[in-house]
Structure 1
Amino acid sequence: MDVRERILQAATDLLVASPDADVSTRAVCEAAGVGAPMLYRLFGDKAGLLAAVVDHGFEDYLAAKRATRPSDDPVQDLRDGWTNHVQYALENPNQYRLMYSPGLTVPPGAAAEAFGLLRATVERCAAAGRLRVAPATATQVIMSANTGVALSLIARPAFYPDPAFSDLVRDAVIDAVTRPADAPVHDAPESPVPSVATTLGALLRAEPSGALSSAETALLQQWLDALAERRGHPPEKS
């Protein structure tokens, strides 16, 4: 085990045992058997160390998500991803709280990768005609709700004794941004234009058309994104 790995392991062990999800650099140096200059040379400062600890701790979780093969039902994949996210948080509460701590000035790469993996699944929903809103909006809605539930269960478990709480929120959120597989777009109570624009935009991102130049494709995507975001807006009258 090299020095960097030793420092990360020591910091992780201290973080797991910490009652307030925090560690001191002095304690980390003592546990790792290194001097402070070495720690700061490798990680910059305490914020850099903690961000690296989060990335280190989330590697197994992210590796499993990277290796997961998409199913034929991308909406079910969203549900499964939500459940796995909450389960990881409950099993690793201190690392999870640190990952989303507003006091962490160096953003962990794990947070960005988790968001990107969710966005990829949302794009699959859009390409399958299953999304009600633009992929960017759906990703933000799902991630913020998923994170909020996980943090609530960690911070105030006594307030959420129902074991089905996470599933109830999950289903409500995902049902709000997706459409049933057997629901025709033209039968939806809202205008079908946003859903169609969302689907077409996702398909073009997945399989760029050689009939359009890069500039034309970018302009078309801009128009489709604008149409996709008009969900809930009444059509303009001429």
Structure 2
Amino acid sequence: MASNAQRRDVTRERILKAAARLLSEEGPSAVTTRRVAHEAGLQPPALYRLFQDKDDLLDATAEHVFAGHLANKLTTAPSDDPVEDLRAGWNLQIGFGLANPYVFGLLLDPARARDTPGQAKGLLILAERVHRIAAAGRLRVSEERAINLIHSAGIGTVHTLLALPPERSDPHLADAAFEAIARAVLTDEPAAPAQDPAAVIASFRSLLPDLPNLTEAEAALLDEWLQR
């Protein structure tokens, strides 16, 4: 027999799936508690036992859809080329934003902005891909700067493409944006010290957690020196 917690989870999943359909097809205005309850085959009070109000339901729905996207993203095993993996991740993220404009808008709305588990996990996936590039000696800037540049460029690219009218849509804009970011943060080949000291430093910083015989404080101090 299912426990109360299990029944609660099943009900929550039904509600979020119904809300996600409405959000995708008709936008945030369609995601009312009465409409969602009807679509989920429930009475409105069932929603209020799980969500405070419509805004809470909208936030949870956007997070639910984005979590599903991340789960699919994590099923792709890394290849031998970390740069191509970064490109693939970029394309997936751009594709998600364009296919889910309402979710994208809710997640990044400054009036609603807050850290969510999905957004944190998404940044962690990006950080891991950038770290692999640094370890391969292909990063010309710090990992932190690369992550921020890639993240902000992705958001800006999706915003721009969604805002463009159909007659002015540019199917190559996302590829051009990635190439511009790649030129800013990547080296053409693994760097030798005489070629690009910044890339060597970025690569060395990526190895700090694995260096033996360093205390946590010593590793932090070394990292600070390298950043300077």
Output the TM-score relative to the length of structure 2: 0.85
**CA 1:51 to 1:161, structure 2 compared with 1: closer, same or farther past 3 Å?**
same
Deviation at 1:90, TM superposition (A): 2.1
- Preserved contact between residue 62 and residue 107 of structure 2 (Cα < 8 Å): yes
| Ranges in structure 1 where 5+ consecutive residues have no aligned partner | 228-238
- Preserved contact between residue 187 and residue 199 of structure 2 (Cα < 8 Å): no
- Preserved contact between residue 14 and residue 23 of structure 1 (Cα < 8 Å): yes
Q: 1:76-225 residue pairs with structure 2 within 5 A? A: 76-158=84-166, 160-181=168-189, 183-188=191-196, 192=197, 194-205=198-209, 207=210, 209-224=211-226
- Preserved contact between residue 48 and residue 106 of structure 1 (Cα < 8 Å): no
Distance between the aligned counterparts of 1:139 and 1:105, measured in 2? 19
**What residue in structure 1 maps to residue 3 of structure 2?**
none
| Ranges in structure 2 where 5+ consecutive residues have no aligned partner | 1-6
Which deviations, in whole Å up to 9, do the C-alpha atoms of 1:117-166 show, x marking residues without a partner? 00110011111111111111110100110111112212324375221111
Q: CA RMSD in A?
A: 2.3
Distance between the aligned counterparts of 1:61 and 1:215, measured in 2? 38
Which deviations, in whole Å up to 9, do the C-alpha atoms of 1:25-78 show, x marking residues without a partner? 333233334444432332334333222212221233211221222122211211
Distance between the aligned counterparts of 1:21 and 1:156, measured in 2? 22
**Deviation larger for 18-27 or 64-73:** 18-27
Distance between the aligned counterparts of 2:208 and 2:99, measured in 1? 39
**CA 1:151 to 1:159, structure 2 compared with 1: closer, same or farther past 3 Å?**
farther
- Preserved contact between residue 58 and residue 110 of structure 1 (Cα < 8 Å): yes
SS in structure 1 of the partner of residue 194 of structure 2: helix
**Deviation larger for 151-160 or 114-123:** 151-160
| Percent identity over paired residues | 40
**What residue in structure 2 maps to residue 40 of structure 1?**
48
Distance between the aligned counterparts of 2:144 and 2:108, measured in 1? 20
Output the TM-score relative to the length of structure 1: 0.82
- Preserved contact between residue 138 and residue 190 of structure 2 (Cα < 8 Å): no
**CA 1:183 to 1:217, structure 2 compared with 1: closer, same or farther past 3 Å?**
closer
**CA 1:107 to 1:155, structure 2 compared with 1: closer, same or farther past 3 Å?**
farther
Q: Which runs of at least 4 in structure 1 moved beyond 4 Å after TM superposition?
A: 19-22
**What residue in structure 1 maps to residue 63 of structure 2?**
55
Q: Among 13, 16, 19, which residue is 1:8 paired with?
A: 16
Distance between the aligned counterparts of 2:16 and 2:87, measured in 1? 32
Distance between the aligned counterparts of 2:190 and 2:217, measured in 1? 35
The count of aligned residue pairs is 220
- Preserved contact between residue 134 and residue 206 of structure 2 (Cα < 8 Å): yes
SS in structure 1 of the partner of residue 49 of structure 2: helix
Distance between the aligned counterparts of 1:183 and 1:63, measured in 2? 34
